[in-house]
A and B are shown apart, each in its own frame.
Chain A
Amino acid sequence: GENVEQHPSTLSVQEGDSAVIKCTYSDSASNYFPWYKQELGKRPQLIIDIRSNVGEKKDQRIAVTLNKTAKHFSLHITETQPEDSAVYFCAALPRSGGSYIPTFGRGTSLIVHP
């Protein structure tokens, strides 16, 4: 099955700095890589995703890059704000096989200090 590793587990930055979270996956058949943000006491919500036919995707202050050869993908947040503080999860979804179970990384707790 798929195995997703996520680093770092905790990331502390000053407001205005950039934040980068990295993930690796094991199943080369995975073709969809979403990122979820979970605020304290809330449900995880999708913030950005990327498919394997694209190397980079950007949405305002957030961007995701994908390196299929190396099997890793990253989330980049620029000009961080205190409201970006949350736990961020990467995930991978295999393209084929008997099961298509979204597999999550262990999460990164991002703290943005004002």
Chain B
Amino acid sequence: DTAVSQTPKYLVTQMGNDKSIKCEQNLGHDTMYWYKQDSKKFLKIMFSYNNKELIINETVPNRFSPKSPDKAHLNLHINSLELGDSAVYFCASNPGLNTGELFFGEGSRLTVL
């Protein structure tokens, strides 16, 4: 069984469109994250979600919004896509806020044309 799964794995879309990436974890973890990995491989935190507490990286444009229907899911919605949004987006989970290892999903490669 996949611990952290993301869909879709690849997404190609036009500028201006709205898209979503889904993430589910079956580890029973309390905290989930979204990271953006750009072409230079930098892993930049976008959001952290724990027990209904959302922590947002203030540098993330408000076109990006996380949605958590329950503890096992944290989806990422992106409105009005721009060329600079092209990247690999990783979902991750962690047992608790300060208890160690991040478990990453396989990543979703978004290409904006």
**When chains A and B are docked, how far (Å) is the Cα of A11 from the Cα of B98?**
31
Contact B33 A102, beta carbon cutoff 8 Å: yes
Contact A32 B98, beta carbon cutoff 8 Å: yes
Say which size band chain B's interface belongs to: 20 to 34
> Number of residue pairs across A and B with beta carbons under 8 Å?
58
Interface residues of A in 37-91 (CB under 8 A from B): 38, 42-46, 49, 87, 89
Known contacts A43-B104, A99-B48, A101-B48; is-contact A107 B43 (Cβ 8 Å): yes
Per-position 1/0 for A99-113, Cβ under 8 A of B: 111111011010000
Chain A at the B interface: SS class: strand
**When chains A and B are docked, how far (Å) is the Cα of A38 from the Cα of B41?**
10
Q: Which residues of B contact A31 (CB under 8 A)?
A: 98
- Listed residue (A93, A98, A103) with the most chain B CB atoms within 10 angstroms of its CB: A93
Q: Can you sample 25 A-B contacts with CB below 8 Å? A: A34-B102, A43-B105, A43-B106, A43-B107, A44-B43, A44-B102, A45-B104, A46-B102, A49-B101, A87-B41, A93-B98, A93-B100, A98-B55, A99-B55, A100-B31, A100-B48, A100-B97, A101-B33, A102-B33, A102-B94, A104-B35, A104-B43, A106-B42, A107-B41, A107-B42
Chain A residues at the B interface, C-beta cutoff of 8 Å:
31-32, 34, 36, 38, 42-46, 49, 87, 89, 93-95, 98-104, 106-107, 109
